[in-house]
Amino acid sequence: MHDRPLSPHLGIYRFMYTMTLSILHRISGVWMALGLVALVAWLCSAAAGESEYARTAAVLGSAFGKILLLSWLAAFCFHFANGLRHLAWDAGFGLEKRSARSSARVVVLAALLAFGIAAYLLFWPHASPP
């Protein structure tokens, strides 16, 4: 059982940037699973009352909390854009090498753009949506 061959041998492949997107999809997903804990904690404290909510808001509003929230927002923007790419693949579109590579660039650009806009609207002091 223990000496059966394992596949794939990641080390023997030439690096291609699409690999980075593949592993980032996993990392961002697992990271957001931890963000889900924070989201539920936020809901629980809002249900518990004003003083409990103030404590949670202070933690999330601190520098450390803001870094966490921004990292979850970044993970979300990437996972969302790359997830749409995965759904397109599952429907049979864009599987050719060329289109898979160009869609990777589109995903990175779209994720950066979405992250910039969302971070500005949610975190910039006194920013209000149109």
Structure tokens at 103: 């869609």
Instruction: List, in sequence order, every beta strand (DSSP E) within the chain.
Output: none
Q: How many residues bind other proteins (CB under 8 A)?
A: 32
Q: Cβ contacts of residue 74 below 8 Å, gap of 6+?
A: 28, 111, 115
* Site map 14..53 versus other proteins, x via CB under 8 A: ------------x--xx-xx--xx-xx--xx-xx-xx--x
* Site map 53..82 versus other proteins, x via CB under 8 A: xx--x--xx--------------x---x--
Residue number, 37 or 97, with CB nearest to other proteins:
37
Per residue, what are the HEC states of 92-129? Answer: CCCCCHHHHHHHHHHHHHHHHHHHHHHHHHHHCCCCCC
By CB under 8 A, the residues from 108 to 127 that bind other proteins are 118, 121-122
Percent helix, strand and coil across the chain, each rounded to 5?
Answer: 80, 0, 20
Binding footprint of other proteins on the chain (CB under 8 A)? 26, 29-30, 32-33, 36-37, 39-40, 43-44, 46-47, 49-50, 53-54, 57, 60-61, 76, 80, 83-84, 86-87, 90, 118, 121-122, 128-129
